[in-house]
Amino acid sequence: MTPANQNIKTYQWGHERRFNTYSGYFRDIYGARVQKVSIDAGFTCPNRDGSRGLGGCTYCNNDAFNPSYCQPSKSVSEQIGEGIEFHKWRYDEAVSYLAYFQAYSSTYASLDKLKKLYEEALNYPGVIGLIIGTRPDCIDDEKLEFLKELSGKYYVAVEYGIESCYNKTLMRINRRHTFEEAVWALERTTAYGINTGAHFIFGLPGENREEMMNQVDIISGLPVKTVKFHQLQIIKGTVMETEFMNNPIDFELFTWEEYLDFFIAFLERLNPAIVVERFTSETPPRFLTSGGWGKKRTDQLLHLVEKRLEELDTWQGRLYKDKRQKTKDKSKK
């Protein structure tokens, strides 16, 4: 008798879904769902306190994406406990958790302070690792050495906000670091044997669709394990809101239909070894000036992306070309 699933294609990441999923990545490591729990530990950023600049990134309003339980007035343990309860109704199969230091630059402090915060999180029952969101200019060898020690016992990843591969864009949005600094941080973190993540935004001012698409080849060559993508949304109360209201022509915001087509094409060219954690952002409508997609939720959008991949019979990396391998092959001749 022919097995019912004999025609199901399994891709190089080991399952039948048409892109290298974050949930699948952790199921492969731990054999079960692992849930991230966000933490706001009261950090700031060097482009807020004057170390490198003032005002922060022009698009940034942490309240727009921080869960309600994330309050720096609460201890790390309190936030983890409330976060686990917050997620239980939706992800009741999760039995293990990753403490996600999400708000602002979560390595921007002394090593002693970081040790105290990270170790408090790791001592919470059920927490098996750390995801640390930060900037490329907020890491150094001393911190990486400590994270390397932790990674011998726990899952540890440093997730860098990069946002764009173009320095002209990074300057315009007041990131106050360069793309070259981001590459250095990824390479240095990888050299210590620590997992790396990266975050990028599509639709930043001054970038056209061709420039956005061309980043796929650059990103595919980075030493990165996981990546987050999302569409630009204009958040109320930000510097970018004022810029958008004054010069909307400088922004190429996506409708959902446009973004679906764009992201499928991007995904086809993306290195299949890279785990895609996210491809959209969901911001409460009350925070938005522009760029929202109505009542569509992240899980609904995920379903629509996977449906379109199936309709087109395509998948992550179908058109990927490893330019690094070509360079190596040429050097052998």
CB 225 within 8 A of CB 199: no
For the chain, which residues make up each domain, given as ranges? 22-332
Q: Indicate if the pLDDT at residue 60 is higher than 70.
A: yes
Which architecture, in CATH terms, is 22-332?
Answer: Alpha-Beta Barrel (3.20)
Average pLDDT over the chain, rounded to an integer: 90
What tens digit of pLDDT does each residue of 131-182 get?
999 999 999 999 999 999 999 999 999 999 999 999 999 999 999 999 999 9
3-state helix, strand, coil in the chain (%, to 5): 40, 15, 45
Indicate the pLDDT class of residue 55, thresholds 50, 70 and 90: confident
User: Please, is 102 exposed, middle or buried when counting C-beta atoms within 10 Å of its C-beta (0-12, 13-18, 19+)?
Assistant: buried
Token pair 């087509």 in the structure block, residue: 261
> CA torsion sign, 285 to 213 to 276 to 134?
negative
Strand ranges in the chain using DSSP code E only, listed in sequence order: 34-39, 96-101, 127-134, 155-163, 195-202, 226-231, 234-235, 275-278, 288-290
What's the mean pLDDT in 279-297?
78
Determine the straight-line distance between the first and last CA of the chain, rounded to whole angstroms: 51
CB 140 within 8 A of CB 173: no
Q: Residue 332: what pLDDT?
A: 44
Give the global pTM: 0.90
Q: Return the half-sphere exposure (C-beta side, CA atoms, 13 A cut-off) of residue 193.
A: 11
